[in-house]
């Protein structure tokens, strides 16, 4: 990110910028920073944007060959096209010979670093991965936002807020704006304020559901599942989130068994450091082999739905019933 800030400050721009990763809030911030710095306001002649799969690479290449009109550069923005794979070979081949006056900004959630387009982007410019931010970074960012409004926030309120919002900065930004408006006449944001207005993420409900599964509270787990369905959450997204939670549990269990610290566990498992202890508590209900099998079963159920062998809602329900049952088999008694 610092390299992009330095380029903007110097007014010296690379031919290609690739912004990718899970932290969409920061990606959008830097996308907009680049466009503002590289394109004059209202200049639709020299700025073009393309979004989604099915983009026409030949059309983009023809446009890139066009000299800018009364400007120093032509800027082409390509978002969420899913072309950082073999699908983007044509554009990857072209980039190395593209005109110096044409600049590309690519925005993607994920990329294949082995692809021809990624290698060309790395050679011609600056790929920047925007990862989920650390607990410390989020705490500093939220604290700065609150101090800017001349307010404070109790520790209990902060802990509840970050648990409800998760670590997605875009969601935090939206919920923080709502909280600040609610507390407009208050100097300190309290726990009761957070509980009054902060919306809990769907992923938190899934976490609670996995907690119910792990503690063999089958009725509660199924109630939470039906609540999510009532909220119009697609069954296969619920399956994906449950599988993701079990994958985290598997990594947490394996690393805890090996004696790793919480910071290393959080980094490897892809979860906030504050959540590690909660995951470790959930892990105790299963052996490592149980968790590995749960991850495999999640994939198998998803495949059964995709091939039409099973109804999606039934697949999730079967998974919940299977792993919330009281596991007294010989292979689960050790819980290593």
Render each residue's pLDDT in the chain as its tens digit; 336 residues: 889 999 999 999 999 999 999 888 999 999 999 999 999 988 889 999 999 888 899 999 999 999 999 999 999 999 999 899 888 899 999 998 899 999 999 999 889 999 999 999 999 998 999 988 888 889 999 999 999 999 999 999 998 998 888 888 888 999 999 999 999 999 999 999 999 998 877 777 777 888 888 888 899 999 989 988 887 888 988 898 888 889 999 999 999 999 999 889 988 887 778 788 888 988 888 899 999 999 999 999 999 998 999 999 999 999 999 988 865 443 443 344
* Gyration radius of the chain over CA positions: 24
pLDDT per residue as tens digits for the range 208-221: 888 888 888 899 99
pLDDT per residue as tens digits for the range 40-98: 988 889 999 999 888 899 999 999 999 999 999 999 999 999 899 888 899 999 998 89
How many angstroms separate the CA atoms of 15 and 34, rounded? 12
| DSSP 8-state assignment for residue 125 | E
Q: How far apart are the two ends of the chain, measured CA to CA in Å?
A: 42
Question: Using an 8 Å Cβ cutoff, are 233 and 211 in contact?
Answer: no
Burial of 103: CB neighbours in 10 Å, binned 0-12, 13-18, 19+ = buried
DSSP letter for each residue of 187-211: SEE-HHHHHHHPPPPHHHHHHHHHH
- Sign of the CA dihedral 204, 208, 209, 214? positive
Segment (H or E) for 7? helix 2-10
pTM above 0.75, yes or no: no
Residue 194's contacts (CB-CB under 8 Å, 6 or more residues apart) are 157, 160, 161, 164, 179
């Amino acid at each position: 990110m610092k390299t992009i800030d330095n380029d903007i400050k110097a007014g010296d721009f690379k031919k290609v910028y690739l912004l990718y990763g899970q932290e969409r809030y920061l990606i959008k911030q830097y996308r907009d920073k680049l466009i503002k710095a590289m394109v004059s306001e209202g200049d639709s002649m020299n700025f073009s944007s393309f979004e989604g799969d099915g983009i026409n690479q030949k059309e983009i290449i023809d446009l890139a060959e066009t000299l800018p009109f009364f400007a120093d550069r032509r800027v082409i923005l390509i978002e969420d096209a899913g072309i950082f794979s073999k699908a983007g070979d044509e554009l990857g081949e072209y980039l190395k010979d593209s005109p110096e006056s044409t600049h590309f900004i690519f925005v993607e959630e994920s990329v294949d670093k082995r692809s021809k387009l990624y290698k060309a982007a790395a050679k011609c410019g600056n790929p920047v991965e925007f990862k989920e931010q650390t607990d410390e970074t989020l705490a500093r960012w939220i604290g700065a936002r609150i101090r800017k409004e001349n307010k404070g926030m109790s520790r209990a309120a902060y802990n509840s807020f970050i648990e409800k919002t998760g670590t997605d900065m875009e969601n935090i930004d939206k919920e923080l704006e709502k909280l600040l408006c609610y507390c407009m006449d208050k100097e300190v944001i309290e726990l009761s304020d957070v509980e009054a207005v902060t919306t809990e993420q769907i992923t938190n409900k899934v976490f609670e559901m996995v907690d119910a599964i792990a503690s063999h509270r089958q009725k509660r787990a199924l109630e939470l599942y039906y609540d999510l369905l009532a909220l119009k959450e697609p069954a296969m997204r619920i399956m994906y989130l449950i599988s993701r939670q079990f994958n985290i549990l598997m990594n947490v269990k394996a690393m805890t068994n090996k004696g790793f610290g919480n910071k290393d566990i959080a980094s490897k498992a892809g979860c906030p450091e504050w959540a590690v202890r909660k995951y470790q508590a959930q892990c105790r209900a299963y052996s490592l082999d149980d968790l590995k099998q749960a991850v495999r079963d999640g994939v198998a159920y998803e495949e059964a739905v995709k091939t039409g062998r099973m109804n999606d809602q039934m697949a999730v329900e079967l998974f919940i019933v299977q792993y919330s049952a009281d596991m007294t088999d010989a292979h689960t008694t050790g819980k290593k």
